[in-house]
A and B are shown apart, each in its own frame.
Chain A
Amino acid sequence: MKTLVLMEHDGVALRSGSGEALGFARAVTEDVTALVLGEGIAAMTAEASKFAPVLAADNAALANSVADRWAHVIAEVARNHNAELVVATSTTWAKDIVGRAAGLLGGAMASDVIGHELEGGELRLRRPMFAGAITATITLKGSPQIITVRSSAYDTPAPAATPFAINAVSVDVDALPSGMELEGVDRRIDARPDVTEARIVVSGGRAFKGSEDYERLVGSLADRLGAATGSSRALVDAGITPNSLQVGQTGKIVAPDLYLALGISGAVQHLAGMKNSRVIAAINRDPDAPIFEFADFGLIGDVYEEVPRLIEQLKSSQ
């Protein structure tokens, strides 16, 4: 299967994760070509050429990854190249741009693939549905098949001993759409993220005896992890934390990648606010605390001892 792999970059270097798309492609076929778009992309194409022959669309008109222009070029290259498979790692960039390209190429697309099988020439893809509660197995009808893969599901292949060829792709600038412009990117290096947006939430409960302790332990740990802070009802009722930090049924409802429940017993109304978190880790002195029924990892211990240890360990590894 002639495969085109889109290599995402940030204007400076290839993004980690774009290698995984190559991993998927290699698992399916030998005939893999990388495609890099942008302006001044010599470093990126050189890097990509370690893994596969590269098609480079280097043009001022492609300086910013604007969906209508990029998708147009990607679709054209895929057609000219007779690609049967177009692959990228599933990121917001890929969803936006490769999604549109797929729309230009007939819409046979599967996003966020986490596994596959090749059954007698038929490519079967596994992808999550219902926020990951279901895994669906599908096949795509039509050609090319456009597939985005979850980076955690595949590995970047080993680089080749000698780099592959890099070929330039010409871009017909006049044919490019012009309805979209990039104004800028705000990388948002926030002080502390909002508890409903953060990838990690460090939450404190009844075990903390005052706002100083809370800030010193929960706050510092959160800062080490670039996380948001949260709290159980008990601390809010005691005036130790403000209402805005209460995670629970009538407070904030959060679903971060990691919820660290520190000294929180796990009352039902609190659980209602965080039980959709991807990973829940709990530290509590009471081995019978209900929170342990809902955690993936549990540490029985005093938060006043364990949290400083966590902070120390993170400090030394950072």
Chain B
Amino acid sequence: MKILVPCKRVPDPDQKPRLNADGSNIDDVAVSFILNPFDAIAVEEALRIREVAHPDTEIVAVGICPVDGEAELRTALAMGADRALLVEHAGMSDPWNVARLLAAVVEREQPGLVLMGKQAVDDDSNQTGQFLAALLNWPQATFASQLEFFDGGLRVHRETDLGIEIIRVTLPAVVTADLRLNEPRYASLPSILKAKKKSIEHTTPAELGVALEPRVQLLSMEVVNSQRQCEQVSNAADLLARLREAEVIE
């Protein structure tokens, strides 16, 4: 079986994002990038699938980023992915175009499963996996917190507002990973050194036969002031009233 794992390069979510001079976009000069944490979870799940029951699984990581953005794909390789493919594209890419590019890669690679993060921690859209499933006309299992294979497909636990929903889907399918699916592994020293030597294949949207058609136009961005101002309350009743106003308790 082949598992395709889309891997997005995102600014480190633990550092505060800063805007460029005209406020039109994120200032990516001093940004440190990492592998999207939800995609790391997807890579980890693919590795576990291989380790636990499917030793012949080939795991292919695919990234859509500028030509010099190989580092995050190397993270996936260091964790244990077999191959990596980089689709060269600089600038913003909205979920629709990412999904179309991924669909073209799926066409090329013919995986039996696409396993990806439920959302990227920069734009937080939570759309790409669903768009991809629609384009491919494949079943989807979003916000997966547990995956099992059974004869005929996948049984997936999904995290929803109402609790855990359990569904069955036939393969091939698109699964998007939620936080509690697993804890991604650190790469071992030999694995990191081996990954450094691997060559990452590059391709382009043109080579994949995809003409990009932007659906989202970014007009401006604003930093939200996250400085907490402590409001002193005088008693317990007051505190509860404030917390109710903030809609954190009922």
Contact = CB atoms under 8 A, between A and B. Distances in A.
**Contact between chain A and chain B defined by CB under 8 Å:** yes
B224 to A, nearest CB: 6
Contact of A200 (B167, B236, B248): B248
Interface stretch (B54-62, B105-113, B120-128, B187-195): B120-128
B142 A96 contact: yes
A138 B219 contact: yes
A265 to B, nearest CB: 15
Classify the secondary structure of A's interface with B: mixed
Interface stretch (A26-34, A41-49, A76-84, A277-285): A277-285
Classify the secondary structure of B's interface with A: mixed
Interface stretch (A155-163, A181-189, A210-218, A230-238): A181-189
A304 to B, nearest CB: 12
Contacts of B180: 197
A103 B100 CA distance: 10
Given A93-B160, A181-B168, A298 B247 contact: no
A184 B180 CA distance: 19
Interface in A278-297: 278-281, 283, 292-297
A109 B126 CA distance: 11
Contacts of A185: 160, 162-166
Contact of A134 (B173, B216, B222, B235): B222
What class of interface size applies to chain A in its complex with B? 35 or more
Given A99-B130, A109-B215, A66 B162 contact: no
A66 B221 CA distance: 35
B160 A296 contact: no
Interface in B88-127: 94-96, 99, 121-127
Contact of A179 (B138, B142, B161, B247): B138
A258 B127 contact: no
Contacts of B249: 200, 225, 258
B166 A186 contact: yes
Interface in B198-250: 213-224, 226, 228-240, 242-243, 246-249
A154 to B, nearest CB: 14
B144 to A, nearest CB: 11
A53 B50 CA distance: 51
A109 B95 contact: yes
Contacts of B229: 296
A301 B239 CA distance: 12
A258 B242 CA distance: 12
B133 to A, nearest CB: 6
A14 interface: no
Contact of B246 (A279, A306, A310, A317): A279
Give the interface centre of A180, A182, A225, A300 by most chain B CB atoms within 10 Å: A180
B223 A133 contact: yes
Interface stretch (A124-132, A164-172, A243-251): A124-132
22 contacts: A68-B133, A92-B160, A93-B161, A103-B130, A107-B99, A110-B216, A111-B124, A128-B224, A134-B26, A134-B222, A136-B221, A136-B222, A142-B213, A179-B170, A186-B163, A186-B164, A186-B165, A188-B163, A258-B248, A301-B235, A309-B237, A313-B237
Interface of B: 11, 13, 16-17, 19, 26, 94-96, 99, 121-127, 129-135, 137-143, 153, 155, 158-170, 173, 180, 213-224, 226, 228-240, 242-243, 246-249
Interface of A: 10, 66-68, 71, 91-93, 95-96, 99-104, 106-112, 124, 128-142, 152, 177, 179-188, 197, 199-200, 225, 257-258, 278-281, 283, 292-301, 306, 309-310, 313-314, 317
Given A130-B11, A298-B232, 4 more contacts: A111-B124, A139-B219, A278-B248, A310-B239
Q: Nearest 9 pairs between A and B by C-beta? A: A103-B134, A107-B96, A99-B130, A179-B139, A103-B131, A309-B236, A258-B248, A187-B163, A92-B160
